[in-house]
């Protein structure tokens, strides 16, 4: 069986490489690419302190897997790939914190009631609308229903819902202006 030859020293092939020799080999491998890696990290994250952390994580992963690099001349591409993957891992680790408070409770406590004169006039004008016009208008404005959903809710055609909405806005405008 034939073994693959690497460009590393004979010490590494026998497995007796000292820590100092490994560090020297690592420094030689990454030394000339650090500035490029830092610039690339800054471009990715737009924050030098985060880029520095990302570069540290990249160097740690590169140190751990240095023996897997078969061609030292491909070190720059290898390091850039590690950097990109480390950046992606930052988002995998992110877990948003959710509140234990039920969302229904949030709606109950959220009471923004507009007390301005314009709001008073508008509420009175809406109250004066006939039910056939007020109901679809409130479904659209307050509840955010689409025209199709309004038609289904009221048991009328989609065109009928559109007509009622149009007429409701027209009557509301006349009530507010008059």
Phi (first) and psi of residue 52, to 5 degrees: -65, -45
Neighbours of 126 (CB within 10 A): 19
Domain count, the chain: 2
Closest Cα to residue 136, out of 123, 150, 149? Answer: 150
Region of residue 124 (left: phi > 0; alpha: psi -120 to 50; beta: else): alpha
Residue 104: predicted pLDDT: 63
Mean pLDDT of successive 10-residue segments in the chain (178 residues)?
Answer: 38 65 87 90 92 93 88 88 90 68 59 77 90 90 88 92 93 89
Residue 17: predicted pLDDT: 78
On whether both 21 and 75 belong to a single domain, the answer is yes
CB 45 within 8 A of CB 16: no
CATH number of 172's domain: 1.10.10.10
Residue 112: predicted pLDDT: 65
Distance CA 64, CA 113 (A): 60
On whether both 14 and 83 belong to a single domain, the answer is yes
Torsion of CA 50, 52, 53, 57, to 10 degrees: 130
- Domain around 146: 114-177
Closest Cα to residue 78, out of 67, 87, 69? Answer: 69
On whether both 47 and 76 belong to a single domain, the answer is yes
Residue 70: predicted pLDDT: 83
The H-or-E segment that residue 60 falls in is helix 48-64
């Amino acid at each position: 069986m034939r073994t693959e030859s690497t460009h590393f020293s004979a010490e590494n092939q026998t497995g007796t490489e000292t820590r100092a020799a490994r560090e020297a080999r690592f420094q030689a491998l990454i030394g000339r690419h650090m500035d490029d890696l830092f610039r690339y990290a800054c471009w990715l994250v737009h924050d030098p302190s985060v880029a520095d952390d990302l570069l540290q994580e990249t160097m740690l992963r590169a140190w751990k897997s240095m023996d897997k690099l078969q061609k030292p001349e491909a070190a720059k591409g290898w390091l850039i790939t590690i950097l990109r993957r480390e950046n992606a891992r930052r988002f995998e680790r992110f877990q948003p914190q959710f509140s234990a408070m039920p969302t229904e409770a949030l709606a109950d406590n959220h009471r923004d009631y507009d007390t301005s004169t314009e709001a008073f006039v508008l509420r009175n004008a809406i109250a004066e609308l006939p039910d056939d016009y007020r109901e679809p208008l409130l479904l659209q404005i307050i509840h955010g229903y689409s025209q199709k959903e309004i038609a289904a809710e009221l048991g009328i055609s989609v065109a009928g819902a559109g007509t009622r909405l149009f007429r409701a806005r027209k009557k509301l405008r006349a009530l507010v202006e008059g």
